[in-house]
């Protein structure tokens, strides 16, 4: 029997519907369909977008807006499946060649037609060194216009993730003429967008608000927005709470689900929880004691993940055994769920046997000469999780030092070896733009910029290559499970908690997706009134 379980003592419930349940949290892909226009609404963001050019910067804030402006070659659905969007299903004359037929009748917001040349221009731009999406094109050999409405992409090796890449920011199709004309001003306030999505950029008053409006000539009749316009405003988490409770904002995707209790008592709001591809974890570096797999495993064995989930998220999260969220399980869901139950060395709450084994590993490795330095971003969640690591260290006689890094500098830990030179573990919620665990497990390949451990293992590389080259979903799922076993065997990161995507919305509204698909799917197009 399917049921909705209370997440919090105040009676906060996950929205019911077509759902997945992996523990205490009921997860749904969508809110019920809207039946009437919503007019103009106000949506809250956690900060002002830095730019609307995702090749320059495409984080959560930017993607929440751009998802409604820009179409992609493929489209990620609320249930985290993908389907061809601006192109038809590609022909594959061999495992490394994709021949895309661009759909006829698609127009950019300036009225010009989307062409094969625009598609090729966009993919080449995304692939340029230094651009945010360039890592998605590392396996691409060539991108060519091969017909009037045809683009052919050739890979160096087979890549089963490529369709997922084309459903993310790497698959955005831009108007080449607009981008070239605007140059470095593209994506800035006061400049038009260069996209073909169901909404266009109407106005961006820097520092105040950003408004998008329904595009009347959108090409796909399946996606006709009910909402005329969305005005985005921004502020910190308590500004979000106040705006939502007072009705100054109609909705928000909450960056921090622990904000939910402050909203749950409002009779004017509903809260919904959805599948996510991400998981909170500890990212180790090759500096100091965490370079030793025995100490990483010992720490994992001693962590109270249940307590961390309760303290950091007030019950609105799952203690979790994987470095990826359940949104990566896809068509191999049953296989992944069975494998999840067999995971070792990642207890939800450590027992005496776990702690005894952890202490044996510490004795075998030898006590570290200096404290383990754990970096977090200073948020409430980051602080609680870091303190959970310190508590685990105390059980093993391992000194742990917590280092708070301001949010503005926190991202530098991932970009700069110098910034993380004094850090052993980084508390982080690692978001995947693709609903496939390979997007996490490729971070520790030898040529990855995210291989902070400098990990190298021929068996792991071979298992990864085999999984990445397998286009059959179920066969690939079996290989990814083998890969995740190897990943956790080396404890290449230490899983902590899975926090669901959290949507807070006025009771008069419905239709918006709840899963993490909102970062690339045009969620505002589904938004409308309940009646």
Instruction: Say whether pLDDT at 18 is over 50.
Output: no
pLDDT over 70 percentage in the chain: 95
pLDDT tens per residue across span 373-405:
999 998 889 999 999 999 999 999 999 999 999
CA distance 259 to 253: 11
Q: Are 197 and 160 in contact, with CB atoms under 8 Å apart?
A: no
In which band, very low, low, confident or very high, does the pLDDT at 23 lie, cut at 50, 70 and 90? very low
Q: Are 108 and 114 in contact, with CB atoms under 8 Å apart?
A: yes
pLDDT tens per residue across span 245-299:
999 999 999 987 778 888 988 999 999 999 999 999 999 999 899 999 999 999 9
DSSP code of residue 88: P
DSSP code of residue 78: T
Residues in contact with 215: Cβ distance below 8 Å, sequence separation at least 6, in sequence order = 109, 197, 198, 199, 200
Work out whether the CA dihedral 186, 188, 189, 195 comes out positive or negative: positive
What torsion, rounded to 10 degrees, do the Cα atoms 464, 466, 467, 471 define?
A: 150
Instruction: Please tell me the least confidently modeled range out of 162-176, 204-218, 442-456.
Output: 442-456
3-state DSSP percent of the chain in helix, strand and coil, to 5? 35, 20, 45
pLDDT tens per residue across span 92-120:
999 999 999 999 999 999 999 999 999 99
pLDDT tens per residue across span 41-75:
999 999 999 999 999 988 889 999 999 999 999 99
- What DSSP letter does each residue of 230-277 carry, written as one string? EEEEE--HHHHHHHHHHTSSSEEEES-GGGHHHHHT-TTEEEEEE--S
| No. of helices (H) and no. of strands (E), the chain | 16, 22
**How many residues can be counted in the chain?**
531
Domain boundaries, the chain: 281-498
Question: Domain 281-498: what homologous superfamily?
Answer: Dipeptide-binding Protein; Domain 3 (3.10.105.10)
> Which tokens in the block code for residue 192?
């038009």
């Amino acid at each position: 029997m399917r049921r909705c379980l209370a997440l919090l003592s105040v009676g906060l419930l996950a929205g019911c519907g077509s759902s997945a349940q992996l523990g205490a949290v009921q997860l749904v892909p969508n809110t019920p369909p809207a039946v009437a226009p919503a007019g103009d609404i106000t949506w809250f963001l956690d900060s002002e977008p830095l730019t609307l050019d995702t090749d320059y910067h495409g984080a959560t804030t930017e993607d929440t807006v751009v998802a409604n402006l820009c179409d992609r070659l493929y489209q990620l659905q609320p249930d985290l499946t993908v389907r061809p969007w601006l192109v038809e299903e590609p022909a594959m004359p061999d495992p490394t060649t994709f021949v895309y037929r661009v759909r006829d009748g698609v127009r950019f917001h300036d009225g010009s037609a989307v062409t094969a040349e625009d598609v090729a221009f966009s993919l080449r731009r995304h692939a340029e060194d230094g651009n945010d999406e360039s890592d998605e094109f590392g396996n691409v050999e060539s991108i060519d216009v091969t017909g009037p409405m045809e683009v052919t992409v050739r890979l160096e090796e087979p890549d089963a993730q490529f369709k997922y890449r084309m459903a993310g920011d790497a698959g955005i199709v831009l108007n080449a003429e607009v981008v070239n004309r605007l140059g470095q001003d593209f994506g800035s306030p006061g400049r038009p967008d260069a996209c073909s999505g169901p909404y266009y950029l109407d106005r961006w008053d820097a520092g105040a608000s950003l408004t998008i409006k329904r595009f009347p000539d959108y090409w796909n009749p399946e996606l006709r927005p009910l909402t005329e316009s969305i005005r985005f405003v921004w502020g910190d988490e308590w500004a979000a709470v106040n705006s939502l409770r007072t009705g100054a904002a109609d909705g928000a995707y909450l960056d921090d689900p622990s904000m939910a209790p402050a909203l749950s008592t409002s009779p004017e709001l509903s809260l919904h929880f959805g599948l996510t591809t991400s998981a909170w974890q500890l990212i180790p570096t090759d500096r100091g004691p965490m370079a030793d797999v025995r100490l990483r495993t010992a720490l994992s064995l001693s962590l109270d993940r249940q307590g961390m989930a309760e303290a950091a998220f007030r019950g609105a999260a799952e203690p979790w055994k994987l470095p990826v969220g359940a949104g990566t399980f896809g068509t191999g869901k049953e296989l992944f769920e069975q494998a999840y139950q067999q995971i070792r060395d990642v207890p939800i709450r450590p027992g005496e046997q776990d702690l005894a084994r952890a202490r044996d590993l510490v004795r075998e490795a030898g006590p570290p000469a200096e404290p383990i330095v754990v970096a977090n971003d200073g948020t409430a969640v980051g602080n609680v999780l870091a303190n959970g690591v310190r508590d685990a260290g105390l059980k093993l006689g391992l000194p742990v030092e917590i280092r708070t890094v301001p949010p503005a500098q926190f991202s530098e830990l991932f970009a700069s070896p110098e910034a993380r030179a004094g850090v052993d573990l980084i508390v982080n919620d690692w978001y995947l733009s693709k609903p496939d665990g390979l997007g996490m497990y490729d971070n520790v390949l030898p040529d990855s910029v995210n291989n902070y451990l400098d990990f190298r293992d021929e068996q792991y590389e071979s298992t990864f290559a085999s999984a990445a080259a397998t286009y059959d979903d179920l066969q690939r799922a079996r290989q990814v499970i083998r890969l995740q076993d190897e990943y956790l065997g080396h404890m290449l990161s230490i899983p902590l908690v899975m926090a669901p995507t959290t949507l807070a919305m006025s009771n008069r509204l419905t239709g918006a997706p709840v899963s993490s698909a909102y970062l690339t799917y045009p969620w505002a197009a589904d938004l409308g009134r309940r009646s």
